[in-house]
Structure 1
C-alpha cells in the first residue's frame, strides 16, 4: 500500500468519526440547551443504531483494524448504549482474501526460499480470511513431519502491508480519542485515550505471530493433563513473526449444533466443559483465550460414543489476570454463586468496576432483587421472561439504569467481552443450560468446601470475616436500640430519595423557565408603549434563561 493510499485511509477514518462527533454534539449538547431535549431523547435509540450501522459498513469495506475495533466496542456494554453494542455484536472478522501471489511472495520472503521447498503441498485457496491475515492448509515435508509428529498443518500468513495499515488506523483512532476527551458527557464515562491504548496493545500483539505461537504453547502446557482439551502444536521451524504454522486440528465448529448432535455428543456437556475450561484459565492459570468466537472453537469427536475434545485455535488475543485481580474475581464469583448482594457490590468496588458516584446501597438492593427473581434460572428460563417484567424491573431502578455507575477497567475489558461471547455460545449449545449449577462445585472448591475439606488460608480468610462481624454485632445492636429509644430511627429509601431529588431539580428548572417566558413576553408586549421598560424586562430574562441552561448539570446527591 502506497503512502498516498495510507493518507487517504487516515483521512477517511478521521472524517467519518468527525462527522459522527459533530452529530453527537448537535443532538446531545446543543438541542437540549435549546429546550428540545425531548426530541433528542425520542430519536436517540434510532440515531445510535444508524450510526453503528454506518460504522459497520465502513469497517467491512475498509478492513484493517476497523473490524477489530467494532468487535472491541461491541463488548463495552458498560459505556455504550445497547442499540450500538447490539448492532456491532454480529460484526465478523471475515473479509475477501488477499491475492494468492501476494501471500506466496510474503511467505517466501519470510522463509527465504520457495514454498515448494518448505512444504510438500500448500493450498492456494485460503481456509479462512480475516482483516489481519489468512489461513491456508498445507502438508509438511517428510523430514519435518517426522520431527514434529504431524504432517497436516494450517499456515497463517499476514496480509501484505498490514503493519502499515495497523499503524495508520491506530493513529486515526488516537486522534479521535483526543477529540472525545474534550466533551464531558464522554470523558466522564470513560477514559477514551486509555481505551484506545488498550486496543492498540492488543492489536500489535495480534500481528506478532511469534507471540501467538508462545501463547499457543502456554495453553498446550496448561491443559496437558486434561484429555478433553486439545490445543494445536506449533511447528517452530516453519514459524516467523509474519507466518505461523500450527498442527491442523480442524473438527466440528462449536456453532454447528446439528453436526454436534449428529455425532452423538451432548451439547449441554460441551457447554459445561467450555465454562469449566474458562474457570481454570481465569482462576488457576491467570491467562485466558480472549477471542472465543465460534470460528476459534471446535468439538472433536472421540472413538468412545458421546465423548469429545474441546479444541481451541487462534491465540492472537489472550488476556492476563494478575493474582490481585484473581482474588477480587473469586470474591465476585462466590458472591454470585451464594447470591450475596452486599458481597457482590464489595467485590465490584475492589475491582474498580464502580464509578465514585455509584450509590452502593441502591446497587445492593438491585442485586438482591435480581438474585431473588432470576437466581438459579437456566438460560432458557431467562429467555422466557416477559418484556413487561423486564420493563417493570427497569422502571423500578430507572435512576440506576440512567446513571449507569459502572465502567469496566482496561484489565477487565477482554475478560468481559469473552464472558459475553461465552454466555451466548452456551445458550446456543443448550437453551436449558444452568450456569448456577455449573458454578456451584467450582465455587465450593474456591472456598475450600469441596468434599468437606478446608484449607488454612480459607479458614483464616472466611473465618476472619465472620469474626469481625461477630465482634461488631453487640456494638451495632446497642446503637440501634439507643436510636430507637431516642425516637430518632429513620428509614432510608434510596429509590424514593433519588426520585425526589430529581423532581426537585425538574421543578426548579420549570420555575426558571416560566419566569424567563413571562419576562420575555412582557417585554414584547411593552416594546411599543414603554420601550425602556421592555428592554429592561428582556435583558432581565437572561438570568432565568441561564439558570435553565446551567440547571442540566449534575448535582451531587444530598
Structure 2
C-alpha cells in the first residue's frame, strides 16, 4: 500500500516562516548596508573604500549553518547568491560555494513513497534493485542507483524532496516579504533586490520540474550526438514525471579525482581541453549551456581511452541560454572594449539587463572607462599571460561598487567559467584557457577567417584606428542636434560679422546666431560643420576611408540645405 507523504502542518509552517524571515532579514540587510557604504563613498570620488568582508563572512557563515538545517530553498538561495558578484565580494562568495557538498539526504522511506506515488505501483515492480544509500544529494532532490525491472538496465533515479512545492512557495513568500520590508524603508536604487527575487524565483521553478530537466537532457543529447569526445546519458521517456526522473547511470571518474585519473593513466590535459571546448561550444555556438559544472556533474566515462578520454555530463536541471539579441549586445560590449567606448558598453549592458532602473549611467560609464584604461594597449600575446583571477577581481570590484545587477543567465555563465577555470587549472596547470577560447570567441564576434587579414590582433588594431571616430561621430552629432533643436544649447560664433541672420552682441564679443529656416536648417548646418571638420581632420591624419565618408556626409548635408532654401 502506498504511503502518503504528510504535509507540513500550520504550526511548523509558522515556525519555519519566522526562522526564514529572521535569517533573510539580517543577511540581506548586512549585504545592503555594506553595498550602500561602498557606493556612497565612490559617488564622492573615494574609490579606496571596500566592503567589510569580515562582517559579511560572519553573517554568511551563520546563513550557511541555518540554511543547511532548514534545507530545500534556503540551500538553493545560498547557492544562487554564491554566483552574484554584484552582491558580494569574492572572499564572501567563497563562504557559500561549499553548500552544494553539505546537503544531507532524505530518508530512503521517503524515496520509496515518492516513487510509488508517482508511478502508482510498488517500487519492486519498477526496479528489481534500488540502493538505499543515495549516490548524490542536492537541495531539491537526490539520486539513487537502481536496476530497471523491465530491461535490467542500470539507471539513476532522481527523486524530489518531500513537500517540495509547499516549502518552495512558503520560502519564496518569506523572501518576497523581506525584500518588500527593506525596499519600503530604505533607498535600494543601487541594488536591485526585486530583480534578484524575480530571477531566483524563475530559476527555482524551472529546476523543480523534472519534465523540464528531461527536455534539457534530450536537447544536450542532440547537440553532442556527433561528438565522440562528449557523452550525454539517455533519458527513459517511460519514467519521466514532474517529481521522479530516470536516466542512464554513468560510471566514471570525477574531474577533480586526480589520483584516480593518474592511476587510469588518463591524459589530464586532454580532459581539460575537451571539457572546456565543450563549454565554449555551448556558450558561443549553441547558445544553450549546462549551468552547474561542478566536478560532481562531470565525469571521465569509464572505459575511455587514456589518450582520448570521453567526458560525460550529468544533471541538467540548471541551464542557461544566450539569445540572438544577447549575442548582438555582447558583440557591442566587445567592440566598445576594443575601441575604449565606455558609452557603447553601457548601452549594451543596459539592454542585457545589467543596469537597473534608477542607476546612474554616468557613474557606471566612468567606472568602465577606468577598466578600459587599465587594459588598453594589451596585446593578444600579453592577454594570454594575464592572470584570469586578476581580471575577474577587477570586474568584481567594478560590479560591487556600482549599481549593477547580474541577470541570472550571466550569473550562471560567470559561475560556469569560474568553475571551469578552477577545474582546468587543477587538471593541467599548463592549460591555456584563453588560447582555447579565442577561436570560439572570434567566430562568435564575427571575426573569423573570412573577416580577418592575418590575426585577431591586427583586426583589433584596425578597428581601433579606423573605426572609433566613425562609431562615436553619429552619436555626438545626434546629441548636438538634439540639444540645439530642444533649445538646450545656444551656439556662439566669435568675430563673424558676415554671418547671415539676427545677431545679438554678448559680453565677450561673440554672436548669438539664428539661422533662417528654423531648427531643421540649424540641424543640417551644424551637421555640415561637424562632418566637414571631421572629414578634413581624418584625411589629414591618413584615415582615408572614414575621412571621405565624413566629407561625403558633409556634401549630402550641403545639398539638403540648398534644397530647403
TM-score (norm. length: structure 2): 0.70
Contact between 1:206 and 1:317, CA under 8 Å: does it hold in 2? yes
Q: Can you list the C-alpha shifts for 1:457-504, whole angstroms capped at 9, x where unaligned?
A: xxxx9999967856969743756999xxxxxxxxxxxxxxxxxxxxxx
**Which runs of 5 or more structure 1 residues have no equivalent in the other structure?**
146-150, 455-460, 483-558
Distance 1:42 1:202 in 2: 31
Q: CA deviation at 1:328?
A: 2.4
Q: Can you list the C-alpha shifts for 1:304-348, whole angstroms capped at 9, x where unaligned?
A: 34111111111111112211102223455677xxx7262687345
Alignment of 1:143-292 (within 5 A): 143-144=150-151, 151-182=153-184, 184=186, 187-292=188-293
More helix by percentage: 1
Contact between 2:30 and 2:56, CA under 8 Å: does it hold in 1? no
Distance 2:78 2:68 in 1: 10
Distance 2:78 2:190 in 1: 19
Q: CA deviation at 1:176?
A: 1.3
Contact between 1:73 and 1:85, CA under 8 Å: does it hold in 2? yes
Alignment of 1:233-382 (within 5 A): 233-300=234-301, 302-332=303-333, 340=338, 342=340, 346-347=344-345, 349-352=347-350, 353=354, 356-360=361-365, 363-370=368-375, 376=381, 382=387
Q: CA deviation at 1:411?
A: 4.2
Aligned to 1:408: 406
What RMSD in Å do the two structures reach over aligned CA positions? 4.0
**Structure 1 residues 50 and 284: alpha-carbon distance in aligned structure 2, compared to 1, 3 A threshold:** same
Distance 1:217 1:453 in 2: 35
Aligned to 1:126: 134
Partner residue of 2:534 out of 454, 465, 476: 476
Q: CA deviation at 1:262?
A: 2.9
Q: Can you list the C-alpha shifts for 1:140-194, whole angstroms capped at 9, x where unaligned?
A: 12x445xxxxx11000111111221111111111111112223555x22222122
Alignment of 1:137-148 (within 5 A): 137-141=145-149, 143-144=150-151
**Which runs of 5 or more structure 2 residues have no equivalent in the other structure?**
1-7, 41-45, 453-458, 474-530, 541-565
Contact between 1:152 and 1:247, CA under 8 Å: does it hold in 2? yes
**Structure 1 residues 254 and 333: alpha-carbon distance in aligned structure 2, compared to 1, 3 A threshold:** farther
Q: Are residue 60 (structure 1) and residue 73 (structure 2) matched? A: no
Partner residue of 2:426 out of 425, 428, 433: 428
TM-score (norm. length: structure 1): 0.71
Q: Are residue 445 (structure 1) and residue 454 (structure 2) matched? A: no
Q: Are residue 76 (structure 1) and residue 84 (structure 2) matched? A: yes
Aligned to 1:16: 23
Distance 2:286 2:28 in 1: 41
Determine which structure has greater relative contact order: mean sequence separation of CA pairs < 8 Å that are 6+ residues apart, divided by chain length: 2
**Structure 1 residues 361 and 97: alpha-carbon distance in aligned structure 2, compared to 1, 3 A threshold:** closer
Q: Can you list the C-alpha shifts for 1:84-135, whole angstroms capped at 9, x where unaligned?
A: 2132223225422211112101111111111111112111111112221111
**Matched position secondary structure for 2:299:** strand
Aligned to 1:97: 105
Distance 1:13 1:205 in 2: 22
Distance 2:445 2:273 in 1: 21
How many residues end up aligned between the 2 structures?
Answer: 452
Distance 1:2 1:68 in 2: 23
Aligned to 1:531: none
Contact between 1:286 and 1:320, CA under 8 Å: does it hold in 2? yes
Which deviates more, 445-454 or 3-12? 445-454
Aligned to 1:507: none
Q: Can you list the C-alpha shifts for 1:8-63, whole angstroms capped at 9, x where unaligned?
A: 11110112233446667999989xx9xxxx9xx89932211101111111111211
**Structure 1 residues 234 and 76: alpha-carbon distance in aligned structure 2, compared to 1, 3 A threshold:** same
Which deviates more, 158-167 or 344-353? 344-353
Contact between 1:79 and 1:189, CA under 8 Å: does it hold in 2? no
Distance 2:375 2:35 in 1: 32
**Matched position secondary structure for 2:436:** helix
Distance 2:185 2:385 in 1: 41
**Structure 1 residues 153 and 301: alpha-carbon distance in aligned structure 2, compared to 1, 3 A threshold:** closer
